[in-house]
Chain A
Amino acid sequence: MDGADHNGLLVDDVSMVFTLPGGGSVHALKNVTLNLASGELMSVLGPSGCGKTTLLNIIAGFLAPTEGAVFLNHHQVKGPAAERGMVFQQGALFEWLNVRKNISFGPRMMGKPRKETNEKVEHLLNIVGLGDFGDKPVYQLSGGMQQRVALARCLANDPDVILMDEPLGALDALTREKMQGLVLKLWKETGKTIVLITHSVEEALFLGERLIVMAPRPGRIHREYHLPFAEQGLTISPREIKASPEFVEKREEILSMIWEMEEEIMGGAAK
């Protein structure tokens, strides 16, 4: 496939081999190919060590793949850039800045006009439900609110793709569900392409229009699903969706798939 002809995000036959300092090497990713149309939301699931964070870091441009390449809208990814926004698990906010300054960081760095930036920040504050918190230092906010700031900060730059590395992983279960609703809402309102890495099967099912399950050793795509739940989530309540027979069935299927992979790893380690 020729990456230069592709509109959207293309991960083209990417392999990643880490050479260990003591000799030997780890095959973190092997021949991963992904093709995301503009506006798609894809969640990535897999047992630890399956290379999902490596994959995200390659798309973000923090790592150069050993083989293959990543293309976004006709050009090859060579390093981090504002077109690919990141939302980290936590601790990536700038604690010396208040909420407003955190959100406006990208536009300020890019030298966008101040008036336009200020309007955008106010708009985003309202969208993520932090209208009254603009002047607070971020360290005074709860974990869930901090992730709202992280989402808004990322959106302020209007990236083509949003990469989320376990964005809700550190939140308590209730906050997490609320935040899933917010991610869904933002996705629909902004029409962004989103790649979401998660450990939670439920979250991956609920948010992912597409879902890929990765397998470890070497890290590769094991299965891919196309799911209706993200679309339903815009009209039906999340609790109702998550309790529906289709959802439960898919959840159990994927859970046992990952269970088996984990068993294999443990079995391999025991021998």
Chain B
Amino acid sequence: MTDAPDQTKRPVAAEQKQPSAFAMWLGIADNSFTRQKTVKFGDATAVNSGRLYSIITVVLLLFAWWFTTSQGWVKPIYWPSFEAVGARWTKLMDQGFRNVPLFEHVGISVYRVMAGVFFGALVGIPLGFAMGLSSIAKGLFDPIVEFMRPIPPLALIPLFILWLGIDETAKISLLFLAALFIMIIAARSGVSGVKISKVHAAYSLGASKFQVLKNVILPNALPEIFTGIRTAMGVCWGTVVAAELVAAEKGVGSMIMIAKNFLQTDTVVIGIIIIGIIGYGIEMIMRLLERWLIPWRGKG
């Protein structure tokens, strides 16, 4: 019994000072898992959220905005004041922009993106599948896909205006093309990524070629296809705003361009904030959908 360690000198977990849940939420204290780690530098999972500092950043930015504009350090034409943006927001919600309700401007931009991605996926997924499965399709379309892949869709805007004018068809066609190549490439890589043992297993279980396509290759490619749709949404959202900047009657892009011509900087700022929020929203919704629809992603 003389060898028994001295209980009083051994710290027990309960005696250690526990940081509060609030401190952990703020990201300034390690959680109970990370706390036990001795190697933290270089371990990405040991990096806390640092939420406190995020809050400080946002508060400082807002304060700088408010302070510089209220002191008259920045002219309203370059950057509007808090109050001006607030007032303009109420007015936009109330009367719309150029007699078009604000939600219609936003709605038409979102609609164009959805239509472009929809048709891009509708054509691109079968094409990508064909390219992954048949050497004829691969040979036929490979030069086009490889040529179009590095061209930013924005560079095609002048051509589309020449060919199709500035109406809805022109914009949706442009977005269709932007989405098309992303979807072809995603679907193709989804098809070629299928593990041969899964295909072999399916044939050995008596599946026909069509059944292998439908029950093995397609579900196996879904994660890649979904990533393609997500990327296409992001690219198309950027493209639609740019296309509307060039020529459009309605849409968030056209709204900020026209507002700029009238030196309505507050409307421009509101437009930019809306673009950011919608873009972020699309990404978040796609991630949620992905988790819900493709829970097996990365588990093969």
Contact = CB atoms under 8 A, between A and B. Distances in A.
A157 B206 contact: yes
Main secondary structure of the interface of A (DSSP, over half): loop
* Interface size class, chain B: 20 to 34
A168 to B, nearest CB: 16
B296 A92 contact: no
Contacts of A88: 197, 200-201
B205 A85 contact: yes
Contact of A105 (B195, B200, B202, B299): B202
B300 A91 contact: yes
A109 B295 contact: no
B188 to A, nearest CB: 19
A82 B201 contact: no
A96 B195 CA distance: 14
B205 A95 contact: no
B198 A105 contact: no
Contacts, number: 70
B219 interface: yes
Interface of A: 60, 62, 79-82, 84-86, 88-89, 91-92, 94-96, 105-106, 109-110, 137, 139, 153-154, 157
- For B206, B215, B295, B299, which residue has the most chain A Cβ atoms within 10 angstroms? B206
A94 B219 CA distance: 9
B207 A109 contact: yes
B204 interface: yes
A86 B296 contact: no
A92 B203 CA distance: 12
Given A82-B206, A109-B206, A137-B296, A62 B200 contact: yes
A109 B215 contact: yes
29 contacts: A80-B200, A86-B200, A88-B197, A88-B201, A89-B197, A91-B197, A91-B198, A92-B195, A92-B201, A94-B215, A94-B219, A95-B296, A95-B300, A96-B219, A96-B294, A105-B202, A105-B215, A106-B205, A106-B206, A109-B207, A109-B215, A137-B295, A137-B296, A137-B299, A139-B296, A139-B300, A153-B205, A154-B205, A157-B205
